[in-house]
């Protein structure tokens, strides 16, 4: 059971400032931190730390070897990541003021310039899973190829774009959305979606999985923790949920493990770097009794 993840890889540059700069203003940052981000990389790290084989399909520029090293250290198979000359690695410039308010500039770079033959690097088969999010090119082509090989496709509709979702939906098995994305999805397509299942996460209110073919649904409350940074919580949840399904867990078990992983993740700063491993998640669940 391999998880393939057609996913974005971003470098997050985080600058703390007293206030956000106005147009025309230049300001010294109080601090700077660099981290691994991108919804794709976050989900790959989460699923790999959950103990599932993960092959990441993506691209980055020719510098920044540390990104590959960090993904590999998390247990991600990086053989499906191509290096593109003359293309910037995807990145986010994140400005955070003293009150925690932020302004973000995102540049897709290599994530949006994936070579057309990239999906061929995946040896899709029945029992495998393909994860995708809306931060790369080649979504429809890769999803169609996976489905024709009997591989289920889990799609995170984030950042939410109606047209991207409309294009990929015929190839999606399970749609993963947060509360706001769920509302937008239902407004556009109704609740009776032509897919196998729907995963909705609702922050501190928990998550639910609807089996749209069997008609059953399960709700998983969030675990109560002191959250310090919820960046990447949804990716942690999606990665762990996918890992659970790939391991043959039933939906309620996969939901419970994903909720525990996300609860641990939000107690730490960072996104990809904050994903817990299986031992940490099992220890957390044991401590919950
Ligand atoms: P996204 O980051 O995509 O908006 P959510 O905010 O819905 O995703 O969070 C995903 C999951 O992370 C939730 O379903 C929950 O299990 C967990 N989570 C998020 N915020 C908290 C929190 N404050 N306390 C505990 N768990 C949380």
- Give the pocket of ligand 1 (CB within 6 Å): 178, 201-204, 206-207, 222-223, 225, 227, 230, 233-234, 237, 259, 262-263, 266
Whether the pTM exceeds 0.85: the reply is yes
- What is the CATH number assigned to the segment(s) 3-9+37-83+114-288? 3.40.1190.20
Nearest CA residue ID for atom 5, ligand 1: 203
270 C-alpha to center of ligand 1: Å? 14
Quote the pLDDT of residue 90: 98
Nearest CA residue ID for atom 8, ligand 1: 234
Q: What percent of the chain has pLDDT over 90?
A: 95
Q: Which residue has the tokens 């910037």?
A: 88
* Structure tokens belonging to residue 163: 């047209």
Q: Closest ligand 1 atom to the C-alpha of 230?
A: 20
From the candidates 77, 97, 235, 273, give the one annotated as an active-site residue.
Answer: 235
Q: Residue 289 above 90 pLDDT?
A: no
28 C-alpha to center of ligand 1: Å? 33
Please say whether the beta carbons of 82 and 105 come within 8 A: no
Domain coordinates of the chain in residue numbers? 3-9+37-83+114-288
Quote the pLDDT of residue 271: 87
Assess whether 235 carries a catalytic annotation. Answer: yes
Number of Cβ within a 10 Å radius of residue 257: 24
pLDDT digits over 233-280, tens only? 999 999 999 999 999 999 999 999 999 999 999 999 888 889 999 999
């Amino acid at each position: 059971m391999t998880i393939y993840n057609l996913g974005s890889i971003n470098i997050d540059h985080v600058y703390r400032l007293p206030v956000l700069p106005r147009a025309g203003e230049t300001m010294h940052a109080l601090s700077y931190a660099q981290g691994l981000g991108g919804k794709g990389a976050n989900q790959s790290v989460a699923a790999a730390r959950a103990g599932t084989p993960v092959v990441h399909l993506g691209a980055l520029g020719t510098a920044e070897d540390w990104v590959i090293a960090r993904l590999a250290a998390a247990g991600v198979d990086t053989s499906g990541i191509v290096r593109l000359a003359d293309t910037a690695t995807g990145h986010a410039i994140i400005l955070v003021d003293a009150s925690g308010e932020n302004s973000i500039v995102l540049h897709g770079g290599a994530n949006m310039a994936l070579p057309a033959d990239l999906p061929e690097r995946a040896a899709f088969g029945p029992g495998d899973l393909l994860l995708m999010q809306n931060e790369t090119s080649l979504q429809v082509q890769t999803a169609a190829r996976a489905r024709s090989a009997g591989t289920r496709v889990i799609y995170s509709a984030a950042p939410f774009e109606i047209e991207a979702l409309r294009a990929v939906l015929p190839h999606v098995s399970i749609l993963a959305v947060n509360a706001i994305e769920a509302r937008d999805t239902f407004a556009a397509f109704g609740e009776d979606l032509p897919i196998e299942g729907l995963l909705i996460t609702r922050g501190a209110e928990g998550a639910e999985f609807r089996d749209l073919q069997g008609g059953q649904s399960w709700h998983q409350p969030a675990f109560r923790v002191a959250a310090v940074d919820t960046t990447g919580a949804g990716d942690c949840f999606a990665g762990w949920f996918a890992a659970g399904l790939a391991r043959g867990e039933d939906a309620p078990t996969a939901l419970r493990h994903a909720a525990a992983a996300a609860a641990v993740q939000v107690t730490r700063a960072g996104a990809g770097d904050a994903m817990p491993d299986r031992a940490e998640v099992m220890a957390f669940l044991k401590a919950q009794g």
